[in-house]
Amino acid sequence: MIALTAAEIATATAGTLNGVDGGFLVAGAVVTDSRDVEPGGMFVALPGEHVDGHDFAARAVAAGAALVLAARPLSADDGSALPVVVVPDVEVALGELAREVLVRLRDASREPGGSGLRVVGVTGSVGKTTTKDLLAQLCGSVGPTIAPVRSFNNEIGLPLTVLRADDSTRFLVLEMGASGPGHLDYLTRIAPPDVAVVLVVGQAHLGGFGGIDAVARAKAEIVQGLVPDGVAVLNADDPRVAAMAALAPGEVVTFGAAPGVQVRARGVVVDRTGRARFTLAVGEGRPDERAVDVALRLVGEHHVHNALAAAAAALAVGLTLDEVADGLTAADALSPHRMHVVDRADGVTLVDDSYNANPDSMRAALKALAVLAGRERRSVAVLGEMLELGPGAREAHDAIGRLVVRLNVQLTVVVGDGARAIADGAAHEGSWGDEVVLVDDVAAAQAYLAGELRAGDVVLVKSSYGAGLWELGDALAAASTDEAEVAS
């Protein structure tokens, strides 16, 4: 965090000082885990479902925290007062602090010699984290860039990301998630974007919204939250996203596969490794049209749209087309459990996409599995529950089971009772014999696969994070390391 006095932090958060002088300077990282404390930084004592950050404040100060953001005065083990800014609501105060810091950073960036800071917000029902990772790599190739670790995209993760920025930051790339109406409105009040990217309106978190049209309205909040002259980067292939152009306060940039969009993928080809090549065309059909070739390292044709979104946003913040093309071709998957491919020592290829799942991302992952396996290798799908789908959950899982059969996935392991409808759908579509196996939990799936997998198999692991299949993904990936050590 930029250097602020305790008094300035108290003013920004509507807090009061306890056990600390107002002139005391805080100039280190802001963290919510006492194990991550850095000397001179600030510890945020968030109340949690299972643990209360207030219980760890003394430990954080002992580790070097200069200040604690808390809901009440706190004392050390010896009874002395800890340096605390006491606020009515710690989570809200964290957001207000981030908002104030970003205002100061923007003001400083406009001064002569300033960084020219640009803030990009990315949202959508699928693809947010991958697009954020691509954009962070593109921007990072030309200037100091701050982006979230993993999926820090909520009312806690976003402020923590903002607070990592300093006067040198040129690009602040923010992932903005929403599981209900008003969430993006809240996040954009903390960090109004200069560029807002909307990827797709899909069926993720339908239970929290009440329907697909409500999802669209909620995602549109990021466009409405743009700075007055901000740029909306919209997926023209999704009619609900394209309609958000009417809400944009400034320029609209469209991306997609259809002719007439401003940033388009032409001639998409997917190779046997599941990686896409295409021509990135900008201003197609205009006298100033430009086009360059791109070859992605990411696995899955669905990443073409993510790449287009990142390209359009990068161009909007000032990168050249050549910088974008070179950056996309060099970009890797950064976040774990997102189409992460591991070639194991025993000849099994693992595709771990277990961080999250909804019907759109599940379909995309299964299609990528079919491409990777081709006709020569056995395709194995290990599928868990897609959470937060609301009343349509059973129908959505059933449809995935039917798709498994249509894609000729040769073995499907359905994990957990919540995903049972996948097995039912496969049976209704015509699956028979041992093509579909239903197991109780992750441990049972691991035990079954240990005796079933063989050289040449391509294995997809896919579920919502809360279903826990990421643990299976880790175990299957670790098996490759173990086998390599034994072989050596």
CATH number at residue 366: 3.90.190.20
131 has which bridge partners? none
Q: Output the domain CATH number for residue 40.
A: 3.40.1390.10
Dihedral, 459, 463, 465, 468 alpha carbons, nearest 10 = -70
Residue 418, domain extent: 340-486
**Residues 251, 389: one domain?**
no
Using the structure block, give the residue that is written with the tokens 């993720």. 204
Q: pLDDT per residue over 355-400, tens digit each?
A: 889 998 999 999 999 999 999 999 999 999 999 888 889 999 999 9
Give residue 259's pLDDT: 82
pLDDT of residue 480: 58
> What residues are paired with 277 via a beta bridge?
269, 295
Residues 263 and 351 in one domain: no
Q: Which residues contact 20 (CB under 8 A, 6 or more apart)?
A: 6, 67, 83, 84, 85
CB within 8 Å of 207: residues ≥ 6 apart: 388, 389, 390, 391, 393
The answer, yes or no, to whether residue 434 has pLDDT greater than 90, is no
What's 231's domain CATH number?
3.40.1190.10
Examine the pLDDT at 114 and tell me if it is beyond 70: yes
Q: Is residue 118 included in any domain, yes or no?
A: yes
For residues 355 and 335, what is the distance between their CA atoms, to the nearest angstrom? Answer: 9
Domain presence at residue 280 = yes
- Asked whether residue 367 is marked as a ligand-binding residue, the answer is no
Whether residue 392 is contained in a domain is answered as yes
Check whether 173 has a pLDDT greater than 50.
yes
pLDDT surpasses 90 at 212: no
Rounded to the nearest angstrom, the gap between the alpha carbon of residue 139 and the centroid of all alpha carbons in its chain is 17
Q: pLDDT category, 431, cuts 50, 70, 90?
A: confident
Q: Does pLDDT of 485 surpass 60?
A: no
Residue 374 burial by Cβ neighbours in a 10 Å radius (0-12, 13-18, 19+): exposed
The tokens 């691509």 sit on which residue? 134
Residue 19 annotated as binding site: no
Least confident of 193-207, 291-305, 378-392, 456-470: 193-207
State the CB neighbour count (10 A cutoff) for residue 93.
Answer: 24
pLDDT at 123: 97
pLDDT greater than 70 at residue 488? no
- Between 211 and 92, name the one with better pLDDT: 92
Query: 50: Cβ–Cβ under 8 A, 6 or more apart, which residues?
Result: none
Q: Is the pTM of this model over 0.85?
A: yes
| Same-domain check for residues 101 and 152 | yes
Model confidence over 455-484: pLDDT tens digits?
A: 999 999 999 999 999 999 999 998 855 443
Q: How far apart are the C-alpha atoms of 11 and 5, rounded to whole Å?
A: 10
Q: Is the dihedral of CA 61, 149, 179, 381 positive or negative?
A: negative
pLDDT of residue 258: 82
Asked whether residue 305 falls in the same domain as residue 344, the answer is no
Co-location of 80 and 175 in the same domain: no
pLDDT at 209 (0 to 100): 63
- State how far the Cα of 402 lies from the Cα of 422, in Å rounded to an integer: 8
Residue 440 CB neighbour total at 10 angstroms? 10
If you average pLDDT over residues 59-80, what whole number do you get?
Answer: 95
pLDDT value, residue 210: 64
End of a domain among 311, 330, 349?
A: 330
What single-letter amino acid sits at 107? D
Q: Is the pLDDT of residue 58 over 80?
A: yes
For residue 126, say whether it is annotated as part of any ligand binding site: yes
Whether 351 and 440 map to the same domain: the answer is yes
User: Whole-angstrom Cα distance, residue 172 to residue 106?
Assistant: 11
Higher pLDDT, 209 or 176: 176
Q: Is residue 335 part of a domain?
A: no
Give residue 486's pLDDT.
Answer: 32
User: Is 23 assigned to a binding site?
Assistant: no
**Same domain assignment for residues 145 and 245:** yes
The answer as to whether 418 is a domain residue is yes
- Which range has the worst mean pLDDT, 91-100, 408-417, 474-483? 474-483
Band the pLDDT of 178: cuts 50, 70, 90: confident
Q: How many domains does the chain have?
A: 3
d(CA 179, CA 177): 7
- % of the chain exceeding 90 in pLDDT: 84
Both 229 and 349 in a single domain? no
Average pLDDT over residues 250-259: 93
* Residue 125 counted as an annotated binding residue: yes
Domain-embedded: residue 281: yes
Residue 128 assigned to a binding site: yes
Asked if 68 and 98 sit in the same domain, the reply is: no
- Give the domain-ending residue among 276, 301, 330: 330
193, 244: one domain: yes
Regarding whether 43 and 166 lie in a shared domain, the answer is no
Average pLDDT across the chain, whole number: 93
Q: Is residue 155 over pLDDT 70? A: yes
Pick the last residue of a domain from 304, 330, 356.
330
Does a structural domain hold residue 214? Answer: yes
Residues 436 and 415 in one domain: yes
Confidence of residue 150 (pLDDT cuts 50, 70, 90): confident
